[in-house]
C-alpha cells in the first residue's frame, strides 16, 4: 500500500511508516539526546552525564535507533582507549526547529499545565 494512502494526516493506519518514525524520534530520550548533540559532537559518557536518569541500556538503544534513522552519526575516534563521538547529521538538524518549538511551548506553558493537572486531579479524586 503506498505511503500516502496509509497516512493522510487525520488517520494513521497501522502500516503507516510515519507512525513508526514518530515513535522512534519523538520519545523523551531521543529529543533530549538531539538537544544535547545540537552543541556539537559528544561522547557517550558525556551524554550519559548530561541526561540525568537515563540508563546505559536506554541511551545505547536510543542512539542506535537515531543512527539507523539517519538522525545522528557515530564515529569511532582512534585514541587509546578508542572513543565514540555522536553528532547530528544534516537530516537530524532539520528536526531541531520543531523540537525547540515544543521545548519552548513546554517551558512557557508549564504553569498552565500544572494548574490543569491540579484541577483534573481534584475533579477526579
In this structure, what CATH number is given to the domain that contains residue 67?
Answer: 1.10.10.10
The three cell numbers locating residue 1: 500500500
Residue 107 lies in a domain: no
Q: How confident is the model at residue 115 (pLDDT cuts 50, 70, 90)?
A: very high
**pLDDT for res 1:** 43
- Angle (nearest 5°) at CA 98 between 92 and 99: 75
Q: How confident is the model at residue 5 (pLDDT cuts 50, 70, 90)?
A: low
CA 28, CA 111: separation in Å to the nearest integer?
A: 20
Residue 57 lies in a domain: yes
Residue 122 lies in a domain: no
Average pLDDT (64-82) is 94
Average pLDDT (35-46) is 93
Look at residues 8, 70, 57, 1 and name the one whose alpha carbon lies nearest to residue 29. Answer: 57
Cis? peptide before 81, omega within 30° of 0:
yes
- The tally of domains found in the chain comes to 1
Dihedrals phi, psi of 84, to nearest 5 degrees:
-120, 130
Domain holding 69, by residue range, is: 3-94
More confident residue, 115 or 2: 115
Amino acid at each position: 500500500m503506498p505511503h500516502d494512502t496509509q497516512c493522510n494526516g487525520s488517520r494513521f493506519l497501522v502500516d503507516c511508516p510515519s507512525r513508526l518514525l514518530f515513535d522512534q524520534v519523538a520519545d523523551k530520550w531521543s529529543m533530549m539526546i538531539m538537544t544535547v548533540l545540537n552543541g556539537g559532537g559528544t561522547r557517550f559518557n558525556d551524554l550519559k552525564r548530561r541526561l540525568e536518569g537515563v540508563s546505559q541500556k536506554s541511551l545505547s538503544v536510543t542512539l542506535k535507533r537515531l543512527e539507523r534513522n539517519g538522525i545522528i552519526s557515530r564515529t569511532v575516534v582512534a585514541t587509546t582507549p578508542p572513543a565514540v563521538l555522536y553528532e547530528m547529521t544534516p537530516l537530524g538538524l532539520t528536526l531541531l526547529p520543531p523540537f525547540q518549538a515544543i521545548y519552548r511551548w513546554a517551558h512557557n506553558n508549564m504553569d498552565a499545565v500544572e494548574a490543569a493537572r491540579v484541577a483534573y486531579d481534584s475533579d477526579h479524586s
